[in-house]
Amino acid sequence: MIKNDLYLRALKGETVERPPVWMMRQAGRYLPEFQDIKGKYDFFTRCRTPELASEITVQPIRRFGMDAAILFSDILVIPQAMNIEVQMKADFGPYLPHPIHDQKGVDNVVIPDVNIELDYVMQAIKATKDLLNNEVPLIGFAGSPWTILCYCVQGQGSKTYDKAKGFCFTNPVAAHELLQKITDTTIAYLKSKVEAGVDAVQIFDSWGGMLSPVDYQEFSWQYINQIIDALKDDAPVIAFGKGCWFALPEMAKSNASALGIDWTITAQNARYLTGGNKTLQGNLDPARLLSSPAEIKKMVRQMINDFGKDKYIVNLGHGILPNIPLENAKAFIDAVKEYRST
């Protein structure tokens, strides 16, 4: 049994003393202890070595005591396992030297045996569970099929994902085939992760908000929904969509245990669009952690009052930025732990 189960109770919608808190991308570049390891090993070595991945996962928990840990890994291990080369370039980000642009490219994509190709992730989960010693739950994750397609077709990060969209709009048959291959792989992958020990799974649709509401349903949401339905009896599923507030009414009808939202929507409107009964996770602007610790604490208290302490998981609206001072990250976490409803 997990000693601090606040996060799991919030996912069930139970009444809690205070909401749980964690930060997207909490295992990362703003931490000096992370930088130490980063200086010694390249990105995919860190992902593939269970001792390193587990150590990086618990670093933020040791320092700040969040209510949940998220496994150190990346959404791009999936395309890598599907026979698509993925590099992580310093000061640039992901780079895929052979992006997909036609049916032939989709034909070359393999649906792997995740227990072989991604066994290193399962080993990292087991090593992390040992280190965590049941103190807090462990979150596993995957990218949404659309967000993964963005990288596979665009070949790198982008402000517009114009090539990815162009592929979907000019070759929808091939695009849907690729999305389905990614969906099938992701379902098998997340099921294995749950078997290896993760307590919940989050789907990151980081680039869902690039699509129009109609295109979002066709190219993103229907695949996320397949994953949710396939996983719902194995573990709680959290669907995070960056810029996807327009889809919240549809998302609220799903079997997701919680919905993650970014900072472009008020708590009141998010509650309204989701019918008031779904657990929500978010949504401080990550750049707001550049404010003073005192201001951060005030904003966090206001945010909890606005969402309500129940059916709520405190988080940022997207990943923590690399230039956030440690005392500011600490103020964010502490403000939640110090929260008392009045």
Catalog residues that contact ligand CP3 under the rule CB under 6 A. 25-29, 38, 43, 70, 72-76, 88, 93-94, 141, 143, 157, 204, 206, 319
Closer residue to ligand CP3 in complex, CB, 43/263: 43
Q: State the nearest-atom distance from the C-beta of 182 to ligand CP3, in Å.
A: 14
Q: State the nearest-atom distance from the C-beta of 48 to ligand CP3, in Å.
A: 13
Q: State the nearest-atom distance from the C-beta of 276 to ligand CP3, in Å.
A: 27
Q: State the nearest-atom distance from the C-beta of 171 to ligand CP3, in Å.
A: 23
Closer residue to ligand CP3 in complex, CB, 103/158: 158
Instruction: Select the residue whose beta carbon is closest to ligand CP3 and give its number.
Output: 206
Closer residue to ligand CP3 in complex, CB, 122/311: 122
d(CA 126, CA 6): 22
Closer residue to ligand CP3 in complex, CB, 150/300: 150
Closer residue to ligand CP3 in complex, CB, 93/97: 93
Q: State the nearest-atom distance from the C-beta of 141 to ligand CP3, in Å.
A: 5
d(CA 195, CA 67): 21
Q: State the nearest-atom distance from the C-beta of 255 to ligand CP3, in Å.
A: 22
d(CA 306, CA 309): 9
Closer residue to ligand CP3 in complex, CB, 68/309: 68
